[in-house]
């Protein structure tokens, strides 16, 4: 690369120019360091974020330059360069890292002759500075800051430090760097959030030091961003030399330079923390208090930003700073992406629902190093660029508390020592409408005008900025921002350089639209069109009528996105034409005002004609005309809503006072009324056109006040306290906003003569304001003990003596409505003992200084209150744990099935109906029945369109018909989603707690199925095209989706019977889940058998390829996790018939087909150790929504996303449980930290199961985790583990749903993940999983398969248990093993002890009782009445389970078993067989035995359960069994008479298992029957035993393989 000698800027500090700034200065730095700080060793330290980007460049440059310099000097010895890369983040600033660096250097024999280079952010700078300060008693070091924060703050001043567990920066030294090099090129790779973090310090410095620097920041937002983010790659080393430096780069350098200079100057004058240096602490006193609570979820700069705002508000409250300055600070900080309050969404998203209690913040502030004794020192701003004192000022705790508190306590004036302030005079905030008009008129006017009482809000700010960028006028501020001086441009306008952005400022957007058409022409070199745009909300607000009118009168306006909406581009065509303009004014009066305001400057006189039905908000049009007149322009009113304006221009008066907002003015006047004092509002009077300006005359006067009004002022004197009179009826239609003020006064009226009730009417519109204000007033007033009620269009209030009013304990809820807060402030000024007003911030919308003014100007005392929870006060009240957002579904509501033709809506729909016990109705058939015409004929006669309309109606009718709206499956025609109306019906059904189920199948398969059938024409459209059109409609209309997965098709496009059976089974599982009948959730009861519970995390890219191994992989797991983010749709499967979602849905179907386990649906984002994008919140939650639609038992929701998204997600969860997860990949939330607690709280609030994952680097991290876990034992089920090899112990100790891997998986899902077998083995070694002994008790048992079966299973799962033979003729010989051995885990019981064993058992299950035999004994511990743990032996019979579990899957439809069943034999096994048939739902059970009397005995036994029909002879029996179970020994050689097999193809099971295929089975197979071998039942009943003993699903595949292998031997 060409060597350049860069242009650098230097700043002097402590007498030397050692701060050097520039672009691309790597070589400059190396050269300077090597020549001015000669040493034998240079140690460059940086972090892993920076090293890959910059390190090699530095080392390469170091080698080159040091060689060159050595050659020049003729020296042979080049200095050594050591480099070391540390992990990033605050945790690196530790003693441990310092030790490691020192040991490393000492072991390399590095001497005193050393210079350190700290290349990184503040962390590296602070740490390496401290290392340098103490290494060999101090060696030189150089700062190369790479973050903005480090450049403007931490690298300058010589403060170095490390953190200890007791706190940050507690150990350190003052150690000045020799040089500080700021290469601004580093900022290009800095994450945006880190950049903003540094900007907080930059804004802070400008705010205390220099207003012109501040203005640069205010206006330079875009340029600064551009300089950082946009680098022109075609210009090499751009900015290194002045000639390639862009304007934006210069501005960035300027800004940083200014900030660095201030810090350097302060440090120079005041090296060790004196008064001056304290100024730099602006925003930090409170900022630190907050940071201590929310770090590291929020960054230092983010907390400082909030601190700046709070400290500025404090200054304002104390009367030192204007609201204008506070507003400027707020806007400036937010424009750089910084938060300005703790209530912001951005903040909430970071800290969850953690509450920063004022007491906690104050507690931290108490230990601030800068405090003086118990007095706090805070920097008080007096103006932008100036502070009250040249040091921090002393401030009382009460004042700080008041500012920080989220709630306000308003104290009654009657209880103040001095009583109420008798006379008050004030100017209330300007009206927004008038401010906007005044700004525009003054800018267009001739001459200079001083505007006062402007409202400072976002709206007016945007208007002002727009006028500036249009070059319409010149503006100055006077009186510290209280006066705006406008030097009018007399109508001059030019095309702005950039687009004009007006946020969501409605008025500004309408007014400016016409203004843009006034631009006469585009100047040379400038853009040719003026662009007006706003935020997303603004882009949805219509301006079409205005655009139409202007275009018709010759303007060239184009909507660049959506017709009739912003953004618009206006190309100058020689100015605003004027002439006759027709305009529709039925939507907004602002269109009219817009044209009127510009009309004087039109080329021809304007005749504005308002057309259409009605003109809305006439008073606002009148206001516009009146204001135009005050600026010398008259508007002629003609009949028929026509206005005429001659060409002229506005004449600016010297001074113009913006009239107050009349609604706001009612509050101070009402305080005078209620407290019996006098108040004058100086900026509103009888001249006003605002309806609310008549409040004093029309409301207060009749209530008994003395009212004096001049043209521009209003004075009210209230009657003595308690003597306001009620107003029997008052129509407030012309001043609706003031009804809240009137209502609180009505609450304290008295009327000794009669009725004491005030009725306010004409205010119905107040139900749809910020909140339903009428309901809100009734509710809040009632809390004070006032009787109030709603009227059809108003409110009725009973007056009550003031002394009887009770302030509500929890305070007044404001519904985020400024008017409620202010009106209740009025009431609170007299209510005894003080009233709390919640959410005090809401007043900022129209009166940001309300609380200051209430106290300072109106004399009402206030105090701060924080009703939130303090740290450590986390309550365990039940309510907190409830997921209230989960709407209850109504599982009885009819289920609507939608989907393409051919996917099986009818077949599967009918199956669904049977499964759920619902009825079935087909919408098309219903339609034909009701309309009495076939659909074909209907369409033929009326056409498709009409059919679709009727179809939607039919569906709607069905869903509301009392007959059909519950317990029906309603199957729709494929085209139901074609119309928006039908889709709306479906969506409504979902919204109301119903289910719309979308059935899908592979479209390739459907199409080959349909094309087989020529009798079903496609109505001339190809099916694929139809699917493409409809697929998104189906998906938006459904809240569930079932994927009917068939592996392949058989001849002729049919799904094979096997697949159909599997699909029906899948559907049953799905339906049982979504209707809550059988949710398949893991039993997480602590202490249950089978702890720990686990889920296996699948990591393959595509399940299809691994289908055969899925069952094995899931062995022993309680659930299975589908890591959706790891799936990769194989390329050959990517086509437009299979979208990504369809692919994922199919993967899930494959998984469910192979494994019965509940599924955890997980999409892991990058920042949480997965691969899904961190920036795609919508994509993430769309996917999670699919997990819910597909009925996944668990959906993993990462707690790092916004609360809003999480809340929406849980609202849809249905029966799915939410697993709320947090992975601390970046090691920011150590166990036990407040930061982690915030995550826990969020998960606790939203999730059913909490999952917290940390990272362990040493065993200590596991110990910290276990302490944490033990704190949470009584909370919700929690998965808490540490990643990394060092964290494996935590995976072993975790007992709830531990994520596991399996040797057959491609790789583990997370570092350190173990298999189930590994976990169990380790738990055993640790003593957490004691060995248990299991026995087979009976004789003869030498050839039993049971030991193989169980020991294979134990081995596979890593369980330490042993299964052995306990052969005995007398059951008593087994007594010791059963009763005395503490290691006894359970037993299989066989002949001859199946009955005898019962005497040892505490309990025998019903099944075993009926069968009259116990084949399984197991142990449970139960709590006895006295609280002790009792060991209980329980008996069960699993033989019948073995029969059932093998026979049912062979049935076409297990929910529809055959009518008849036959059992052969009458021994113990026959009993199990009868029980099994009964349990399978077989109605008619026949029993045959050679000795008939024995059969009758059994019949008697089962009498209580079911009827058994004894067959005397098989030959004569007229039966047609679908199921046969034989329990007669194989050696009997039994065969059945042929007719018993009948016409049906049934299922037969022979319990004899030597040989595998008995004579009987062979005969049945010949008859086409399916058969179950005895060995299968044997295995199956063993598996059932295994599951009872271990609480785990048995690893069936490997057990069966091993048993069969043994059997064949």
Site string for ligand NAD, 186-205 (x = CB under 6 A): x--xx---x--x--------
Cβ closest to ligand NAD, residue 126 vs residue 1193: 126
User: Is the torsion defined by CA of 1081, 1084, 1089, 1094 positive or negative?
Assistant: positive
Which residues, numbered 194-253, are part of the site for ligand NAD (CB under 6 A)? Answer: 194, 197
Q: Which two tokens stand for residue 1587?
A: 């599951």
Smallest separation, CB 49 to ligand NAD (Å): 3
Site for ligand NAD contains 157 (CB under 6 A)? yes
Angle at 362 between CA 359 and CA 368, to 5 degrees: 155
Q: Other CB atoms closer than 10 Å to residue 382's CB: what's the count?
A: 16
- Binding segment toward ligand NAD, per CB under 6 A, in 42-50, 531-539, 639-647, 655-663: 42-50
User: Is the torsion defined by CA of 361, 366, 372, 373 positive or negative?
Assistant: positive
- Binding segment toward ligand NAD, per CB under 6 A, in 150-158, 467-475, 747-755, 1338-1346: 150-158
Which residues, numbered 1437-1476, are part of the site for ligand NAD (CB under 6 A)? Answer: none
- Binding segment toward ligand NAD, per CB under 6 A, in 58-66, 114-122, 433-441, 1247-1255: 114-122
Distance CA 1440, CA 173 (A): 79
Annotated catalytic residue within 402, 769, 840, 1223: 1223
Cβ closest to ligand NAD, residue 168 vs residue 1276: 168
Smallest separation, CB 375 to ligand NAD (Å): 24
Site for ligand NAD contains 128 (CB under 6 A)? no
Site for ligand NAD contains 287 (CB under 6 A)? no
Q: Which residues contact 636 (CB under 8 A, 6 or more apart)?
A: 643, 644, 645
Concatenated DSSP letters of 1250-1274 = EEEEEE-SSHHHHHHHHHHHHHTTT
Cβ closest to ligand NAD, residue 297 vs residue 1583: 297
Q: Which two tokens stand for residue 962?
A: 């009392």
Cβ closest to ligand NAD, residue 240 vs residue 557: 240
- Binding segment toward ligand NAD, per CB under 6 A, in 97-105, 183-191, 622-630, 1025-1033: 183-191
Q: How do beta strands 1416-1423 and 1384-1389 pair?
A: antiparallel
Site for ligand NAD contains 146 (CB under 6 A)? yes
Smallest separation, CB 955 to ligand NAD (Å): 56
3-state secondary structure of 91: helix
**Is 1484 considered catalytic here?**
no
Smallest separation, CB 300 to ligand NAD (Å): 6
Cβ closest to ligand NAD, residue 206 vs residue 1434: 206
Smallest separation, CB 388 to ligand NAD (Å): 24
Cβ closest to ligand NAD, residue 58 vs residue 1060: 58
The residue within the footprint of ligand NAD, chosen from 22, 79, 122, 685 (CB under 6 A), is 122
Place of tokens 């008593």: 1372
- Binding segment toward ligand NAD, per CB under 6 A, in 151-159, 723-731, 880-888, 1449-1457: 151-159
Distance CA 264, CA 11 (A): 8
Site string for ligand NAD, 668-707 (x = CB under 6 A): ----------------------------------------
Contact 763, 732 (CB under 8 A): yes
Annotated catalytic residue within 263, 288, 800, 1217: 288
Site string for ligand NAD, 46-75 (x = CB under 6 A): -x-xx-------------------------
Distance CA 924, CA 513 (A): 53
Q: Which residues contact 766 (CB under 8 A, 6 or more apart)?
A: 736, 737, 739, 772, 773, 774
Cβ closest to ligand NAD, residue 18 vs residue 590: 18
**Is 273 considered catalytic here?**
yes
- Sheet order of strands, 655-657 included: 473-478, 483-489, 446-452, 655-657
The DSSP 8-state label assigned to residue 1091 in this structure reads P
Which residues, numbered 1229-1268, are part of the site for ligand NAD (CB under 6 A)? Answer: none
Alpha-carbon distances of 578 from 517, 598, 626, 638, 1169, rounded to whole Å: 10, 9, 21, 17, 63
Q: Please, how many CA atoms are within 13 Å of residue 1371, restricted to the half-sphere of its CB?
A: 18
Distance CA 879, CA 76 (A): 77
Distance CA 676, CA 687 (A): 26
- Strands (DSSP E) found in 1272-1425: 1278-1283, 1298-1300, 1333-1338, 1362-1367, 1384-1389, 1403-1404, 1416-1423
Site for ligand NAD contains 386 (CB under 6 A)? no
- Strands (DSSP E) found in 620-755: 636-638, 642-645, 655-657, 678-681, 706-709, 714-717, 730-731
Annotated catalytic residue within 78, 90, 226, 273: 273
Cβ closest to ligand NAD, residue 295 vs residue 677: 295
Which residues, numbered 399-438, are part of the site for ligand NAD (CB under 6 A)? Answer: none
**Is 842 considered catalytic here?**
yes
> How are the residues of the chain apportioned to helix, strand and coil, as percentages rounded to the nearest 5?
45, 20, 35
Smallest separation, CB 1287 to ligand NAD (Å): 22
Smallest separation, CB 1232 to ligand NAD (Å): 21
Q: Is the peptide bond before 1555 cis (omega within 30 degrees of 0)?
A: yes
Alpha-carbon distances of 965 from 131, 287, 740, 1141, rounded to whole Å: 76, 58, 44, 31
The residue within the footprint of ligand NAD, chosen from 123, 338, 486, 1082 (CB under 6 A), is 123
**Is 288 considered catalytic here?**
yes
- Binding segment toward ligand NAD, per CB under 6 A, in 145-153, 1067-1075, 1439-1447, 1583-1591: 145-153
3-state secondary structure of 683: coil
1329-1358 burial code (b ≥16 CB/10 A, e <16)? beebbbbbbbbebeebbbbbbbbbbbbbbb
The residue within the footprint of ligand NAD, chosen from 27, 126, 1241, 1295 (CB under 6 A), is 126
User: Is the torsion defined by CA of 697, 700, 705, 707 positive or negative?
Assistant: negative
Site for ligand NAD contains 90 (CB under 6 A)? yes
The residue within the footprint of ligand NAD, chosen from 153, 978, 1041, 1146 (CB under 6 A), is 153
Smallest separation, CB 295 to ligand NAD (Å): 10
What's CA 986's distance to the chain center, in Å?
27
Cβ closest to ligand NAD, residue 87 vs residue 834: 87
Annotated catalytic residue within 598, 679, 705, 842: 842
Cβ closest to ligand NAD, residue 145 vs residue 1277: 145
Distance CA 59, CA 1482 (A): 83
Smallest separation, CB 168 to ligand NAD (Å): 6
- Binding segment toward ligand NAD, per CB under 6 A, in 149-157, 538-546, 929-937, 1576-1584: 149-157
Distance CA 87, CA 1069 (A): 48
Smallest separation, CB 734 to ligand NAD (Å): 56
Site for ligand NAD contains 93 (CB under 6 A)? yes
The residue within the footprint of ligand NAD, chosen from 29, 128, 150, 774 (CB under 6 A), is 150
What's CA 745's distance to the chain center, in Å?
43
Site for ligand NAD contains 311 (CB under 6 A)? no
Smallest separation, CB 517 to ligand NAD (Å): 46
Site for ligand NAD contains 169 (CB under 6 A)? yes
**Is 998 considered catalytic here?**
no
Residue numbers of the site for ligand NAD (CB under 6 A)?
Answer: 47, 49-50, 88-90, 93, 120-124, 126, 146-147, 149-150, 153-154, 157, 159, 168-169, 186, 189-190, 194, 197
Would you please indicate which residues are annotated as catalytic (active-site) residues? Answer: 273, 288, 842, 1223, 1251
């Amino acid at each position: 690369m060409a060597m350049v000698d860069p242009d650098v800027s230097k700043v002097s500090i402590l007498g030397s120019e050692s701060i050097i700034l520039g672009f691309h200065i790597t070589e400059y730095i190396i050269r300077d360091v090597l020549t001015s700080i000669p040493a034998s060793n240079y140690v460059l330290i940086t972090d892993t974020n920076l090293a890959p980007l910059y390190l090699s460049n530095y080392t390469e440059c170091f080698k080159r330059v040091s060689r060159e310099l050595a050659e020049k000097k003729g020296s042979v010895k080049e200095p050594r360069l050591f480099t070391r890369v540390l992990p990033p983040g605050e945790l690196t600033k530790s003693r441990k890292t310092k030790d490691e660096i020192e040991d490393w250097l000492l072991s390399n024999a590095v001497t005193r002759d050393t210079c350190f280079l700290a290349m990184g952010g503040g962390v590296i700078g602070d740490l390496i500075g401290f290392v340098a300060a103490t290494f060999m008693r101090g060696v030189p070091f150089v700062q190369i800051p790479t973050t903005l924060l480090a450049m403007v703050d931490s690298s300058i001043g010589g403060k170095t430090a490390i953190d200890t567990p007791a706190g940050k920066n507690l150990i350190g030294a003052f150690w000045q760097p020799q040089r500080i090099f700021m290469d601004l090129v580093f900022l290009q790779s800095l994450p945006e959030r880190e950049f903003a973090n540094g900007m907080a310090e930059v804004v802070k410095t400008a705010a205390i030091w220099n207003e012109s620097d501040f203005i640069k920041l205010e206006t330079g937002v875009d340029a600064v961003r551009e300089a950082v983010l946009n680098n022109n790659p075609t210009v090499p080393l751009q900015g290194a030399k002045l000639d390639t430096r862009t304007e934006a780069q210069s501005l960035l350098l300027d800004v940083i330079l200014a900030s660095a200079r201030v810090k350097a100057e302060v440090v120079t004058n005041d090296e060790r923390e004196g008064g001056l240096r304290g100024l730099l602490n602006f925003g930090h006193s409170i900022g630190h208090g907050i940071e201590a609570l929310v770090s590291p979820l929020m960054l230092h700069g983010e907390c400082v930003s909030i601190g700046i705002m709070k400290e500025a508000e404090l200054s304002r409250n104390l009367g030192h700073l204007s609201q204008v300055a506070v507003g400027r600070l707020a806007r400036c900080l937010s424009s750089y992406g910084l938060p300005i309050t703790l209530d912001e969404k951005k903040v909430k998203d970071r800290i969850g629902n953690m509450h920063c209690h004022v007491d906690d913040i104050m507690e931290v502030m108490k230990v601030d190093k800068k405090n003086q004794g118990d007095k706090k020192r805070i920097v008080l701003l007096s103006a932008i660029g100036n502070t009250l004192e040249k040091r921090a000022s002393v401030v009382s705790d009460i004042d700080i508390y008041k500012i920080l508190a989220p709630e306000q306590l308003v104290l009654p004036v009657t209880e103040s020592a001095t009583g109420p302030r008798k006379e008050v005079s004030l100017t209330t905030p300007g009206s927004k409408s008038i401010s906007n008009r005044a700004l525009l008129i003054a800018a267009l006017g001739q001459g200079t005008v001083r505007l006062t009482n402007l409202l400072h809000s976002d709206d007016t700010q945007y208007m002002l900025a727009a006028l500036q960028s249009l070059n319409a006028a010149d503006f100055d501020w006077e009186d510290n921002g209280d006066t705006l001086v406008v030097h009018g441009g007399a109508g001059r306008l030019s095309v702005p350089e950039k687009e004009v952005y007006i946020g969501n400022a409605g008025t500004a957007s309408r007014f400016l639209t016409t203004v843009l058409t006034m631009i006469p022409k585009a100047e040379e070199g400038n853009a040719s069109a003026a662009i007006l745009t706003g935020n997303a909300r603004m882009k949805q607000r219509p301006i079409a009528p205005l655009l139409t009118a202007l275009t018709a009168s010759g303007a060239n306006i184009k909507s660049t996105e959506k017709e009739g909406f912003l953004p618009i581009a206006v190309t100058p065509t020689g100015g605003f034409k004027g002439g006759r303009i027709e305009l529709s004014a039925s939507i907004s009066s602002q269109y009219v005002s817009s044209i009127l305001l510009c009309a004087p400057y039109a080329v021809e006189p304007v005749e504005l004609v308002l057309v259409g039905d009605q003109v809305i908000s006439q008073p606002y049009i009148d206001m516009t005309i009146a204001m135009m007149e005050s600026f010398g322009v008259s508007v002629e009113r003609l009949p028929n809503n026509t206005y005429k304006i001659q060409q002229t221009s506005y004449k600016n008066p010297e001074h113009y006072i913006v009239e107050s907002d009349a609604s706001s003015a009612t509050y101070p006047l009402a305080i005078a009324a209620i407290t019996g004092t006098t108040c004058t509002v100086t900026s509103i009077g009888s001249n006003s056109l605002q309806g609310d300006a008549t409040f004093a005359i029309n409301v207060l006067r009749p209530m008994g006040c003395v009212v004096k009004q001049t043209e521009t002022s209003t004075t009210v004197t209230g009657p003595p306290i308690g003597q306001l009179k009620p107003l029997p009826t008052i129509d407030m239609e012309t001043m609706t906003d003031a009804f809240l003020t009137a209502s609180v006064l009505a609450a304290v009226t008295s009327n000794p003569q009669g009725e004491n009730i005030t009725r306010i009417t004409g205010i119905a519109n107040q139900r749809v304001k910020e909140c339903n204000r009428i309901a809100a007033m009734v509710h809040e007033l009632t809390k004070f003990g006032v009787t109030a009620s709603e009227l059809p269009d108003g409110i009725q209030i009973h007056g009550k003596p003031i002394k009887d009013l009770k302030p509500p304990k929890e305070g007044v809820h404001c519904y985020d409505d400024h008017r409620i807060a202010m009106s209740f402030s009025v009431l609170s000024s007299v209510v005894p003992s003080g009233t709390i007003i919640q959410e005090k911030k809401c007043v900022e919308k129209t009166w940001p200084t309300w609380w200051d003014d209430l106290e300072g100007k109106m004399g009402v005392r206030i105090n701060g209150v924080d009703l939130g929870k303090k740290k450590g006060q986390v309550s365990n009240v039940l309510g907190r744990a409830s997921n209230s957002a989960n709407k209850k579904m109504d599982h009885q509501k009819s289920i609507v099935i939608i989907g393409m033709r051919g996917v099986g809506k009818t077949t599967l729909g009918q199956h669904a109906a049977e499964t759920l016990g619902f009825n079935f109705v087909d919408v098309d058939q219903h339609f034909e029945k009701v309309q009495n015409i076939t659909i074909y004929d209907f369409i033929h006669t009326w056409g498709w369109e009409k059919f679709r309309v009727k179809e939607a109606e039919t569906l709607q009718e069905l869903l509301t018909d009392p007959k059909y709206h519950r317990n029906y499956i309603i199957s729709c025609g494929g085209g139901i989603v074609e119309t928006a109306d039908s889709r709306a019906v479906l969506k409504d059904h979902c919204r109301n707690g119903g289910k719309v189920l979308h059935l899908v199948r592979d479209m390739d398969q459907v199409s080959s199925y349909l094309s087989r059938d020529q009798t079903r024409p496609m109505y001339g459209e190809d099916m694929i095209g139809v699917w493409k059109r409809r697929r998104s409609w189906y998906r938006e209309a459904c809240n569930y989706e079932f994927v009917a997965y068939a592996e392949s098709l058989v001849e002729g496009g049919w799904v094979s019977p096997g697949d159909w059976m599997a699909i029906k089974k899948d559907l049953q599982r799905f339906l049982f889940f979504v209707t809550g009948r059988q949710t398949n959730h893991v039993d997480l009861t602590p202490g249950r058998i089978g702890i720990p519970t686990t889920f296996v995390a699948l990591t393959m890219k595509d399940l299809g390829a691994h289908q055969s191994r899925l069952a094995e992989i899931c062995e022993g797991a309680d659930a299975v996790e589908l890591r959706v983010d790891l799936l990769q749709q194989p390329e050959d499967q990517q086509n437009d018939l299979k979208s990504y979602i369809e692919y994922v849905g199919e993967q899930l179907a494959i998984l469910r087909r192979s494994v019965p386990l509940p599924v955890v649906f997980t999409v892991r984002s990058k920042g949480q150790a997965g691969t899904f994008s961190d920036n795609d919140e919508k994509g993430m939650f769309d996917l999670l929504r699919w997990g819910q639609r597909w009925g996944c038992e668990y959906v993993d929701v990462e707690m790092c996303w916004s609360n809003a998204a999480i809340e929406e997600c849980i609202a849809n969860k249905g029966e799915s449980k939410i697993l709320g997860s947090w992975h601390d990949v970046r090691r920011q939330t150590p166990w036990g930290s407040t930061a982690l607690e915030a995550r826990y709280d969020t998960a606790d609030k939203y999730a059913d199961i909490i999952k917290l994952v940390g990272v362990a680097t040493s065993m200590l991290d596991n110990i910290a985790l276990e302490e944490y876990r033990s704190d949470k034992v009584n909370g919700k089920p929690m998965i808490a583990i540490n990643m990394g090899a060092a964290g494996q112990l935590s995976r072993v100790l975790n007992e709830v749903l531990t994520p596991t891997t399996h040797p057959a998986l491609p790789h583990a899902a997370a570092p350190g993940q173990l298999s189930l077998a590994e976990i169990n083995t380790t738990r055993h070694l640790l003593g957490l999983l004691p060995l248990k002994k299991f026995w087979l008790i009976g004789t003869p048992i030498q050839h039993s398969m049971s030991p193989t079966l169980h020991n294979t299973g134990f081995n596979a799962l890593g369980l330490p248990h042993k299964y052995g033979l306990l052969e005995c003729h007398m059951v008593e010989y087994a007594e010791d093993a059963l009763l005395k051995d503490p290691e006894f885990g359970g037993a299989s019981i066989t002949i001859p002890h199946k009955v005898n064993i019962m005497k040892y058992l505490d309990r025998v299950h019903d099944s075993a009782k009926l069968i009259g035999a116990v084949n399984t004994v197991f142990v449970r511990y139960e709590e006895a009445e006295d609280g002790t743990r009792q060991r209980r032996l329980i008996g069960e019979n699993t033989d019948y389970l073995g029969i059932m579990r093998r026979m049912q899957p062979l049935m076409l439809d297990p929910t529809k078993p055959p009518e008849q069943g036959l059992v052969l034999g009458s021994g113990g096994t026959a009993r199990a067989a009868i029980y099994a048939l009964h349990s399978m739902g077989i109605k008619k059970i026949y029993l045959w035995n050679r000795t008939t009397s024995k059969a009758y005995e059994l019949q008697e036994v089962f009498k209580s359960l079911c009827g058994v029909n004894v067959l005397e002879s098989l030959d004569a029996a007229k039966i047609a069994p679908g199921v046969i179970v034989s329990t007669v020994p194989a050696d009997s050689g039994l065969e059945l008479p042929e007719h018993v097999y009948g016409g049906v193809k049934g299922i037969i099971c022979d319990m004899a298992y030597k040989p595998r295929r008995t004579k009987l089975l062979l005969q049945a197979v010949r008859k086409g029957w399916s058969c179950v071998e005895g060995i299968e039942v044997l295995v199956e009943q063993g598996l059932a035993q295994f599951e009872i003993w271990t609480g785990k699903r048995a690893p069936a595949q490997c057990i069966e393989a091993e048993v069969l292998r043994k059997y064949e031997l």
